[in-house]
């Protein structure tokens, strides 16, 4: 996990022990499904069948579930091959969880896989020469919910089950912001990864929005098209920032006693904001050889800031405002971060 997701690994290390194991296991299984879904060497139909088989295997304890050897060996990343090879062990671990936790994990994975199957239905026939765009902004939002917004719900329900009074607000009030929190992180990834997804034939910039600008997905293969598509990128960056603001309100609604939870939420939000700043400013956004990534040194600085500020609402809000301004989102940084209404379009 340390090798495959630095942000999640750092956050996970600080989660309370009572929820760390089931959340880590859910993440490992979700990454397994994601690796299957993104396996470009396999036809889309084969990937869909493997995803459905993966879901079915979750309901069979001791089944020694394993992916076909040819599927595992064709994955180029050694870390991802190792992850796939441990599927049976991870399913056995799933069945050591309390029944309620196991149900939460399997429900989440069902939602995530549904999003991956949607993804395959949109992009199954796409190639690097003939990229396909998902149809609409509604579809983009739907996708972000399935693969990340639902994680916010899961995370919140898991804390509710194991940590009494983990938040200052009732859980039903938190859930809309939890969903937006997850959507914001996923939309950040989508925008950062535009050129690499295009190289696989996938455009998460919606077809209806591209058409409004007189563009088709194939136009985005030319890095020189960036000035024409920049208005859409700016719009979606703003959507992601609005989601992150809801995530900040969510974080501030957590009990000040829950320092680990507050840190585990604050760090990925700050990393997302800085990444969105890179996306908004980059002149090379469509160049696949350029990967927009904040430095390890910067990640550690954000982790330090999050940890120091976690006990105080005022200090944590000040960190949020400072990082928003630093990333170029001065308007979003104005005013206090209010925790009500958490589900509103802008929670600050």
Same domain as 144, residue 98: no
Same domain as 335, residue 224: yes
Number of domains in the chain: 2
Structural domain ending residue among the three candidates 97, 125, 153: 125
pLDDT of residue 347: 37
Same domain as 134, residue 81: no
316-321-324-325 Cα dihedral, nearest 10 degrees:
-140
Same domain as 253, residue 141: yes
pLDDT of residue 348: 34
Q: Which residues pair with 345 in a beta bridge?
A: none
Same domain as 26, residue 160: no
pLDDT tens string 161-194: 999 999 999 999 999 999 999 999 999 999 999 9
Same domain as 338, residue 252: yes
pLDDT of residue 336: 66
Same domain as 335, residue 216: yes
Q: With left for phi above 0 and alpha for psi between -120 and 50, is residue 201 left, alpha or beta?
A: left
Same domain as 178, residue 223: yes
pLDDT of residue 64: 62
Cβ-contact 314, 301 below 8 angstroms: no
Structural domain ending residue among the three candidates 80, 106, 125: 125
Helix (H, G, I), strand (E, B) or coil at 203: strand
pLDDT of residue 340: 54
pTM above 0.75, yes or no: yes
> Rounded distance, CA 90 to CA 29, Å?
7
pLDDT of residue 4: 46
DSSP for 36-48, written as a single string: HHT-TTS-HHHHH
Same domain as 172, residue 113: no
Domain of residue 61: give its range: 1-125
CATH number of residue 239's parent domain: 1.10.600.10
Cβ-contact 134, 204 below 8 angstroms: yes
pLDDT of residue 62: 63
Structural domain ending residue among the three candidates 125, 149, 178: 125
Same domain as 141, residue 109: no
Same domain as 138, residue 88: no
Same domain as 82, residue 231: no
pLDDT of residue 299: 93
Regions of the chain where pLDDT drops below 50: 1, 3-4, 344-348
């Amino acid at each position: 996990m340390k090798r495959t997701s630095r942000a999640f690994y750092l956050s996970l290390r600080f989660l309370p022990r009572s929820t760390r194991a089931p959340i880590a296991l859910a993440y490992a299984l979700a990454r397994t499904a994601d690796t299957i879904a993104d396996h470009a060497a396999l036809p889309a139909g084969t990937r869909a069948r493997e995803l459905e088989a993966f879901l079915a295997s979750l309901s069979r304890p001791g089944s020694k579930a394993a992916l076909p050897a040819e599927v595992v060996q064709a994955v180029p990343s050694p870390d991802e091959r190792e992850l796939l090879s441990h599927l049976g062990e991870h399913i056995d671990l799933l069945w050591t969880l309390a029944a309620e936790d196991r149900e939460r994990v399997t429900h989440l994975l069902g939602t995530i896989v549904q999003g991956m199957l949607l993804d395959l239905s949109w992009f199954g026939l796409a190639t690097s020469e003939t990229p396909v765009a998902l149809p609409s902004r509604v579809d983009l939002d739907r996708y972000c919910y399935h693969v990340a917004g639902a994680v916010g719900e899961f995370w919140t329900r898991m804390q509710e089950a194991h940590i009494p009074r983990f938040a200052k607000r009732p859980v039903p009030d938190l859930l809309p912001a939890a969903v937006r929190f997850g959507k914001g992180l996923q939309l950040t990834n989508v925008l950062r990864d535009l050129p690499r997804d295009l190289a696989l034939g996938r455009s998460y910039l919606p077809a209806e929005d591209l058409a409004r600008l007189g563009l088709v997905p194939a136009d985005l293969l030319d890095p020189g098209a960036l000035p024409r598509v920049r208005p859409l990128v700016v719009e979606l960056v703003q959507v992601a920032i609005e989601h992150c603001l809801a995530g900040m309100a969510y974080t501030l609604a957590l009990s000040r006693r829950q320092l680990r939870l507050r840190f585990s939420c604050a760090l990925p939000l700050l990393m997302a904001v800085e990444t969105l700043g890179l996306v908004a400013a980059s002149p090379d956004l469509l160049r696949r050889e350029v990967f927009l990534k904040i430095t390890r040194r910067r990640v550690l600085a954000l982790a330090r800031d999050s940890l120091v500020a976690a006990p105080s609402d005022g200090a944590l809000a000040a960190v949020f405002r400072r990082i928003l301004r630093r990333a170029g989102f001065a308007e979003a940084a104005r005013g206090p971060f209010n925790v009500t209404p958490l589900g509103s379009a802008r929670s600050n």
